[in-house]
Amino acid sequence: MVAFRLADFLPYQLSVASNAVSRAVATGTGYESRFGLTATEWRVLAATTAATTAAGAPTQVELGRVTGMDKMTISRAVTALTARALLDRVRDTGDRRTLRLSPTAEGRRIHDIVAPQALEVEARLLAALSPADAALLRRALAQLRAACDEP
């Protein structure tokens, strides 16, 4: 029987690293303490803001594709963000069954405060790596995501 060491298991290592990075961003930006956002709510607000253009706003399904989050997680975050008037849901003009999401003025204001701080935290964390290692990490993560999509 092969010995299973959880600490050496890639999914576990990625999860622990992801949690640590998320905590660093939450602490460094104050999105939890200042704005009462969870990590998931911040991600949904950030993804919605990034995806909203003059050409249109994303749906929850589109956010799922972009973020890799499951639809129930996104749905809960969208419900919380709309209840706090940080996101708007608007019926699609072409398909009345489809709801499009966009940040409200307050949602955009919070995003515009938190996003630059999140980039500062990211830069601080990446400074622990050489530029070559940071580039390698980004390539390796992209390759792992692609490998997950293969049959």
pLDDT digits (tens, 9 = 90+) for 33-77: 999 999 999 999 999 999 988 678 999 999 999 899 999 999 999
C-alpha to C-alpha distance for 118 and 45, rounded to whole angstroms: 13
CATH number at residue 70: 1.10.10.10
Say if 83 falls within a structural domain: yes
Long-range CB contacts (within 8 A, 24+) of 50-53: 52/101, 52/102, 52/103
Say if 109 falls within a structural domain: yes
Burial class (CB in 10 A: 0-12, 13-18, 19+), 104: middle
| Model confidence pLDDT, tens digit, residues 10-41 | 999 999 999 999 999 999 999 999 999 999 99
Say if 13 falls within a structural domain: no
Say if 118 falls within a structural domain: yes
Say if 14 falls within a structural domain: no
Predicted local distance difference test score (pLDDT) of residue 91: 86
Among residues 65, 113, 125, 59, which one has the least CA distance to residue 88?
59
| Model confidence pLDDT, tens digit, residues 79-119 | 999 999 999 998 888 887 888 999 999 999 999 999 999 99
C-alpha to C-alpha distance for 114 and 131, rounded to whole angstroms: 25
Predicted local distance difference test score (pLDDT) of residue 53: 81
Say if 80 falls within a structural domain: yes
Domain that holds residue 77: 27-149
Predicted local distance difference test score (pLDDT) of residue 94: 81
What is the count of structural domains for the chain?
A: 1
